Amino acid sequence: MITLLFQDQIGGLKVFDQEIQSWIPVKPVRNTIFLNVGDMLERLTGGVVPAALHKVETVQEERQSVAFFGHFDNDCLISPLHDTTGEAHAKNAGKTFEPMFTSEHVKTRRLESTASKY
């Protein structure tokens, strides 16, 4: 649902800017935490809180990364927690978020990420 990134000065994190269709480097800022919203939180908020497409590029310097992924039980039905019409619907460019079991969501995201053009 979220990622907390304690980024060092080595950098390498990039986010995809949909408007210009390009990857933008995230400048490391000392003593800050970068919060990245995941696609499951985007689904729960009906797109009001959008997920950011991101990646980390390989760099020459050594760095340490620790990731922990958690999600709801596979048989949990995930859907927007509120009405996704009106202003919220306009903000997410008309994207719809149909109810989906966690197992379906995870499987869909894995398939999308392996077929991604990015």
| Domain assignment present for 64 | no
Give the residue numbers spanning the domain of 99.
2-58+71-114
Q: Has residue 65 been placed in a domain? A: no
Supply 68's token pair.
């922990």
Alpha-carbon span 84 to 66, nearest angstrom: 34
Q: Compute the average pLDDT of residues 1-28.
A: 86
The tokens for 78 are 């995930």
Structure tokens at 53: 């497409």
In a domain, 16, yes or no: yes
Give pLDDT, residue 36: 86
Q: What is the pTM of this model?
A: 0.73
**pLDDT given at position 52:** 85
Q: Is residue 82 a part of any domain in this protein? A: yes
- State pLDDT tens for residues 54-71: 888 887 888 777 777 777
Interval 17-38 mean pLDDT:
88
- How many distinct structural domains can be found in the chain? 1
